[in-house]
Amino acid sequence: MADNKQTYDANKIQVLEGLEPVRKRPGMYIGSTDQRGLHHCVYEIVDNSIDEAMAGHCDHIIVMLHDDGSVSVEDNGRGIPVDIHPKTKKSALETVLTILHAGGKFGGDDSGYKVSGGLHGVGSSVVNALSSYMRAEVYRDGKVHMQEYVRGKPKADVKAIGKTEKQGTKIQFMLDSQIFDALEMSLSLLLAHFRQQAYLTRGITISVMDEREKRPEEDSSLPRLYRFHFDGGISAYVRHLNHDKQAIGDVIWLEKEEKEGFVEVAMQYSQAFQEQCISFANNIHTTEGGTHLTGFKAALTRTINAYARKEAILKEKEENLTADDVREGLSAIVSVRLKDPQFEGQTKSKLGNAEMKTAVETVVNEKLAEYMEEHPGDARDIVGKCLLAARARMAARAARDAVIRKGALEGMTLPGKLADCSSKDPSECELFIVEGDSAGGSAKQGRNREFQAILPLKGKILNVEQARLDKMLSNNEVKSLIIAMGMGIGEVKDKTKLRYHRIVIMTDADVDGAHIRTLLLTLFYRYFPELIEGGQLYIAQPPLYKISMGKDSRYAFTDKEKESTLKEWGIGQADLDAEGENEEPAESAESDVKEGKPAKGKKAKDGKEADKPKARKANIQRYKGLGEMNPDQLWETTMDPKGRIMLRVMLEDAEKADAIFTTLMGPDVPPRKKFIQTHAKGVKNLDI
């Protein structure tokens, strides 16, 4: 037996050197190798230039998307040092770009940076490791220094290649197709990030140029040159967030240098119901918040309650305003800069420095109280908005309790229209939300009863963008969905009680279906964002067409697939009538072609029948409703896990999503009209 055992000794221990660990486990450094990780690499390089700007040495950054697929980032900062590093005995440029945890961002009085977003010193070297090619040019002391790399390894030493009057650094890189799922950059995603950075760094200009000849469809209508510059900084950012909302007072801007670091806050209330608090640490977007955001929220609640009590707006017997009350309709940017930030992971999604909670609380308590004393009119409007939210909360609590109580009294009785699945394991269960009884009937018959539940909704649900929780819970369709999911809502929401770990929106491929889908997405985005963040919300993709020719039938999910199938079958537009139906049975024509016989047709001038086979005909059925499909077809195309296509709803850009939901679903008509007029030309195959 001993002979069969594998030998486990020192030879089995693998040692990865240099940048090998990055290529071996890229997800550890950039989060993922999908589109998110791809763009994260560009942000890492730009962040280095932003750090130069925060240190006061750079005021212009140029980002270019080149036609060969590469990206270049150039700044007018000090330029990465090129002299020999005392420890590595290599050029400082090569050290920074080829060694993990090498950089001028680790604190200390002699550090190159007081504050920086590039905490770990791995950004540039990681991007180099994940690039098939990189070229670095440094403009310093009147000279141009250059070094090239292939998959993180230098092709040669750093060398001077010319003279220049410029100063700064230019990094051009081609990300590696061996690492990433796809290499297509999204200009719109990049623009959103760089606009954000320009707001956060007052006085900086970020230019973005797209030189690509072929661009992704989402970028095709966008201009090729952008320049971002905002003297108003984060105050301008808040105005941007609220540009489609009915604002209450002006933007409140607070800033102060504390011993723990620099704190800057901009905030403004509106008549909207949703809050939008976005936090940054050293210009890094902390999507999961952290101590700085916790400090802001605590100080905001305390300060507004103190003012309301002092001015007797809140009576003695009345309860204090809650944290949710004081944040309803608030848009806020919380930005801190500190010397030694502690982030969670290389993607820096959450700030962990405990001292920043105290620093932000101190600044907001002091400065917001001063503002409210100096602007009593605005202060009373803000407190009035918060009191209105509190009254609505109490009404919503009564309505919510009625929903919960009803569920409890009926032994958590599920909606009668719900066709539940037999499995009790939420991890394998999925809930299909379908439009109408007809589609619901097909789905109920076609599903796998073991793990698939069906909830048909009657008509269009309430637009929750324009409704508070109390009104929302009085809507039967919304209430049915909440009870079916099982996790509750509002203060009593508990995700561990979610009955289905996959929620699938399945609506018709027409205008009404799109509207219902948008209403549902609004509900989930506003009240169940954790399901979107957890990747548990999906949109089913039923086929648009069934294409038949003879005994052969195929489904097409897009117009492109339809055209591809017709091309494969040798079918041209002339072989389809206006209805997409055959002029005569397709089977006989098809069988003639298969056997190589000429189809009977008109005689030629010499009296002989023409040799040309009769053109083949195809029948195209356009599905406008799920109810048009029989249960077997619906299962085969849309519900069977082995062959279905589903889109996972992602929350890549919460700020952009919030703006779109506010525009499309909010109370103001002019912004919605403008949006429709702007995007109308891009809509294809609109069924009216």
- Which sequence positions are flagged as catalytic? 435, 508, 510, 512
Rounded-to-integer distance, Cα 263 and Cα 292, Å: 9
Question: Is 244 within 8 Å of 663 (Cβ atoms)?
Answer: yes
Tokens representing 343? Answer: 């982030």
Question: Is 271 within 8 Å of 246 (Cβ atoms)?
Answer: yes
Rounded-to-integer distance, Cα 543 and Cα 67, Å: 35
Sign (positive/negative) of CA torsion 408, 410, 414, 417?
negative
DSSP bridge partners of 341: none
Question: Is 31 within 8 Å of 182 (Cβ atoms)?
Answer: no
User: Alpha helix locations (H) across 35-98?
Assistant: 35-54, 92-98
Torsion over CA of 623, 625, 626 and 627, rounded to 10 degrees?
-110
Rounded-to-integer distance, Cα 60 and Cα 50, Å: 9
Residue with tokens 């649900």: 461
Question: Is 40 within 8 Å of 50 (Cβ atoms)?
Answer: no
Residue with tokens 């998110």: 36
Nearest to 179 by CA among 7, 384, 34: 34
Rounded-to-integer distance, Cα 633 and Cα 443, Å: 10
Question: Is 549 within 8 Å of 556 (Cβ atoms)?
Answer: no
End-to-end CA distance of the chain: 74
How many Cβ atoms sit within 10 Å of the Cβ of residue 392? 17
Tokens representing 255? Answer: 């800033």
Sign (positive/negative) of CA torsion 278, 279, 280, 285?
negative
User: Angle, to 10 degrees, between the axis of helix 291-310 and the axis of helix 376-409?
Assistant: 110
